[in-house]
Amino acid sequence: DRHAADKFGQLTRQGIHRWRWCFHTVKAESMVPELGVIEGYFGRPWGHEDRKRVMTQLRELGYSWFHHAPKADPFLRRRWREPYPSAAFTMLADLSAHCRSLGMRFGVGLSPYELYRDYSGPAKADFVAKLRALDDIGLDDLAILFDDTRGDVPDLAAKEADIVHAAMAVTRATRTVMCPTYYSDDRMLDVLFGERPAGYLEDLGRRLDPRVGVYWTGEEICTREFSPGHLIRIADALRRKPILW
């Protein structure tokens, strides 16, 4: 409702991280980070009109992009191989048009759930079909999200990099972002999703196309602060500055 959108603006001004907004690469000429929001949380997603109101407020606050990726959207996660129902597809296209009309970049976060376990012919075909369908919504950014899934599999970084590169070869989006399975130093990820492979971040950074942005939440899943030393270490491992989620 309108109160939710107003509250969002209030929290943004106060700098509270509950809503998970993101800092992209710093613009050297102004030292002001590029700001955006990813709706990528668990729980009840925002309503369609709420999102549009939030976008309008974001633009007024200087934000430049919005990524639609609610975990509760089954067609972006567990049922990602299925096409969007017509009504939901129309709403996403409307959301994209509204975002772009404000001068903001619009993106979708696709979580091809455990695709890396069986990236065979049929799975590849379904992945390509999904990407082409998402293109029809109108994307500036495409995010491929591997967060909060099992990661204790052989050659995880190589498999994830291959999937991201396959998406880049298909999508009409002009910017591609990915979220690693292990997107934080927080050991809770290893408890929940299996022990992270040794050298995972370094392997991922070495394999990924340098044009790909990488989401990172910090030393904790919901980090309280970012230290310069930590960010330097992660940037060195990934061979690029992370996008702070």
Residues recorded for the chain: 245
Cα angle, residue 149 at apex, residues 147 and 151 outer, rounded to 5°: 100
148 given a catalytic annotation: yes
Token pair listed for 215: 């989401």
Q: What is the pLDDT of residue 17?
A: 35
Residues 95 and 65: beta-carbon distance below 8 Å: no
The number of beta carbons lying within 10 Å of the beta carbon of residue 36 is: 22
- The alpha carbon dihedral of 186, 189, 192, 198 has a sign of negative
**Of 46, 40, 38, 41, the residue nearest 63 (C-alpha):** 38
Which residues are registered as beta bridge partners of 141?
107, 175
Q: What is the pLDDT of residue 120?
A: 86
Residues 100 and 138: beta-carbon distance below 8 Å: yes
Q: What is the pLDDT of residue 31?
A: 64
Share of the chain above pLDDT 70, in %: 87
Residues 223 and 231: beta-carbon distance below 8 Å: no
Q: Strand runs (DSSP E) across the chain, as ranges? A: 21-27, 32-39, 65-68, 105-110, 141-145, 175-179, 213-216, 243-244
Distance between the two ends of the chain, CA-based, in angstroms? 25
β-pairing verdict for 65-68 and 105-110: parallel
- Answering whether pTM is above 0.75, one says yes
Q: H helices within the chain, ranges in order?
A: 2-14, 48-60, 86-101, 121-135, 156-170, 188-193, 200-207, 228-238
69 to each of 7, 13, 25, 50, 82, how far by Cα in Å? 20, 23, 20, 15, 16
Residues of the chain with pLDDT under 70: 1-31
Q: What is the pLDDT of residue 24?
A: 52
Q: What is the pLDDT of residue 44?
A: 87
Which residues are registered as beta bridge partners of 35?
23
Catalytic residue of the set 148, 155, 162, 186: 148
